[in-house]
Amino acid sequence: MAIALCYVGAWGAQNKPGPSAAQGASQPSRTILVLGDSLSAEYGLPRGSGWVALLAQRLAAEKIPATVQNASISGETTSGGRSRLAALLTADKPGIVILELGANDALRGLPLAMTQDNLNQMTRAAQKAGAKVLLIGMQVPPNYGRDYADHFAATFGQVARANKAALVPFLLKGVADAPNAAELFQSDRIHPIAAAHPTILNNVWPELKKLLK
């Protein structure tokens, strides 16, 4: 998510990790496709310390037979994700698709209607391919303007409701809005440090676990 959303202060190069797996010995595996931006692509982090890698570790620890395929790219927009999704659905045949996109749209000042349409189309394409969808919501700081910030945050819920998809309202809950937020971000004040990624995973896990059932 190579973006200039200054989370710290407002609230108080590309990395693309390879796939990681957690598979049970006697049960068929399932694929979880993560399509996101730098928040999911371990931007500025040691390899294996981002929330997607931690997800694979948790699946293994809980003996849940699933493979995590991380297709996240730093700087990705909803338009970019939409253009790549069809090929990923064909190649990976995921049972669950996690969509963590939208923040870079805000950075670039793209129309919210376009962001919403892209998220709708990706959600429907994944569902048509037989996958369950988990939308990951984002927020922008108040300095973007209250009206814009409110509408942006509401977009993810609107898409989820329209398509009966699962939703995590705010990926960075407990990080960007934490009392010690300044300590939880890298020096760019945009990307969380490795120590914040367990919290990020804990935001995703409850809704994802429902889909895994």
CB atoms inside a 10 Å sphere around CB 5: 20
Q: What is the pTM of this model?
A: 0.88
Element (H, E) at 106: helix 103-107
pLDDT digits (tens, 9 = 90+) for 3-36: 335 444 444 333 444 444 443 343 434 999 999 9
Q: What is the pLDDT of residue 12?
A: 36
Q: b/e for 137-171, b at 16 or more Cβ within 10 A?
A: bbbbeeebeeeebeebbebbeebbeebebbbbbbb
Confidence of residue 144 (pLDDT cuts 50, 70, 90): confident
Q: What is the pLDDT of residue 103?
A: 94
Q: Where are the domains of the chain?
A: 7-212
CATH of domain 7-212: 3.40.50.1110
Q: Are 208 and 98 in contact (CB under 8 A)?
A: yes
pLDDT greater than 90 at residue 207? yes
Question: Would you name the residues annotated as active-site residues?
Answer: 38, 188, 191
Confidence of residue 208 (pLDDT cuts 50, 70, 90): very high
